[in-house]
């Protein structure tokens, strides 16, 4: 019996370590500047659709969850530097990003839209955008769409945040802007002066926008990816995702 005690103790130590590891918080980064999906409240805390969804996913995974704000242009480098474990920041799954990081299965699909001044004749078609100055957030699928479809036929101006993009559009420094449909809708709804409007139809391009928006992960974190995938399937199937989305948007985001 005495010979077994060290082995039993080792097993117990390993087991307790495994339990502790399973309870480690999942650190999730979001931009905190892309309403209604993620935004920063006056008290400095991040909130929004993706923050609520992150908490629901962590609940399904039975893991504590910490959501932190990270500026968009540093969000992938921060993940790779292990400042956090995952990204939930309305990030489309694209082949270019997949070269650097891994992704969960999609947790939502959100079309893009063009927004233009209320008196504009732009209708969202490539023909109406040629020769124009178009704004998009930097390093996004929206800026990539403009580059692909208009190239040198339009001037692309990029911004660090969606709020700065909107400010320049309202100030007349842009002919149009491209962003997600929900953000575009919020801009128009919140525009007391009726100075901007949605133009054209939803912008769709599978090559640019990919299959949807997913959780960004380090490629080696395969167990965490599996946990997120299972949790996403669960919140889709039981209606949790739809209920969360209904608090923020008036259309379906279900992948």
Q: What per-residue confidence (pLDDT) applies to 23?
A: 67
Same domain, 132 and 192: yes
Same domain, 31 and 147: no
Q: Rounded to whole angstroms, how far apart are CA atoms 64 and 45?
A: 17
In a domain, 186, yes or no: yes
Q: Rounded to whole angstroms, how far apart are CA atoms 178 and 142?
A: 6
pLDDT (tens digit, 0 to 9) for every residue of the chain, 255 residues total?
334 444 444 444 444 444 434 568 999 999 999 999 999 999 999 999 999 999 999 999 999 999 999 999 999 999 999 999 999 999 999 999 999 999 999 999 988 999 999 999 999 999 999 999 999 999 999 999 999 999 999 999 999 999 999 999 999 999 999 999 889 988 999 998 899 999 999 898 989 999 999 999 999 999 999 999 999 999 999 999 999 999 998 888 998
Q: Rounded to whole angstroms, how far apart are CA atoms 144 and 130?
A: 16
Q: What per-residue confidence (pLDDT) applies to 63?
A: 95
Same domain, 197 and 222: no
Same domain, 196 and 217: no
Q: Which residues is 66 bridged to in the sheet?
A: 27
Distance of CA 202 to the CA centre of its chain: 18
Distance spanning both ends of the chain, measured CA to CA: 57
Q: What per-residue confidence (pLDDT) applies to 193?
A: 87
Q: What per-residue confidence (pLDDT) applies to 38?
A: 96
Query: Alpha helices of 135-248 — where are they, by DSSP H?
Result: 141-149, 162-170, 181-189, 206-209, 222-237, 240-246
Residue-wise pLDDT tens digits, 151-186: 999 999 999 999 999 999 999 999 999 999 889 988
Cis peptide before 36 (omega within 30 of 0): yes
Asked if 29 contacts 16 with a C-beta cutoff of 8 angstroms, the reply is: no
Among candidate residues 140, 121, 122, the one with its CA nearest the CA of residue 37: 140
Number of domains composing the chain? 2
Q: Rounded to whole angstroms, how far apart are CA atoms 138 and 146?
A: 12
Same domain, 217 and 95: yes
Same domain, 217 and 104: yes
Same domain, 201 and 116: yes
Q: pTM of the full predicted structure?
A: 0.78
In a domain, 13, yes or no: no
CATH value at residue 53 = 3.40.190.10
Same domain, 100 and 122: no
Same domain, 191 and 235: no
Burial readout 28-58 (b: 16 or more C-beta within 10 A, e: otherwise) = bbbbbbbbbbbbbeeeeebbbbbbbbbebbb
In a domain, 254, yes or no: no
Residue-wise pLDDT tens digits, 116-150: 999 999 999 999 999 999 999 999 999 999 999 99
Q: For residue 77, give its domain range.
A: 26-109+211-246
């Amino acid at each position: 019996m005495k010979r077994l005690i060290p082995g039993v103790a080792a097993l117990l130590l390993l087991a307790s370590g495994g339990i502790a590891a399973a309870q480690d918080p999942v650190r999730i980064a979001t931009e905190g500047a892309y309403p209604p999906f993620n935004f920063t409240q006056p008290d400095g805390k991040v909130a929004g659709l993706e923050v609520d969804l992150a908490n629901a996913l962590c609940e399904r995974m039975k893991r504590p969850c910490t959501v932190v704000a990270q500026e968009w242009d540093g969000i992938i480098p921060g993940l790779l530097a292990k400042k956090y474990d995952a990204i939930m920041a309305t990030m489309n799954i694209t082949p270019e990003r997949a070269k650097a990081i891994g992704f969960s299965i999609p947790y939502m699909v959100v079309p893009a839209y063009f927004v233009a001044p209320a008196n504009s004749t732009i209708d969202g078609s490539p023909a109406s955008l040629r020769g124009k100055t178009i704004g998009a957030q930097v390093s996004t699928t929206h800026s990539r769409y403009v580059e692909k479809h208009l190239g040198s036929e339009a001037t692309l101006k990029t911004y660090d945040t969606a709020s700065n993009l909107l400010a320049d559009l309202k100030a007349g420094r842009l002919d149009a802007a491209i962003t997600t449909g929900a953000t575009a809708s919020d801009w128009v709804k919140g525009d007391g002066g009726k100075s901007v409007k949605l133009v054209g139809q939803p912008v769709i391009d599978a090559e640019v926008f990919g299959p949807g928006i997913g959780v960004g992960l380090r490629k080696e974190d395969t167990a965490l990816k599996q946990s997120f995938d299972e949790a996403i399937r669960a919140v889709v199937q039981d209606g949790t995702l739809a209920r969360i989305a209904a608090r923020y948007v008036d259309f379906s985001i279900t992948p």
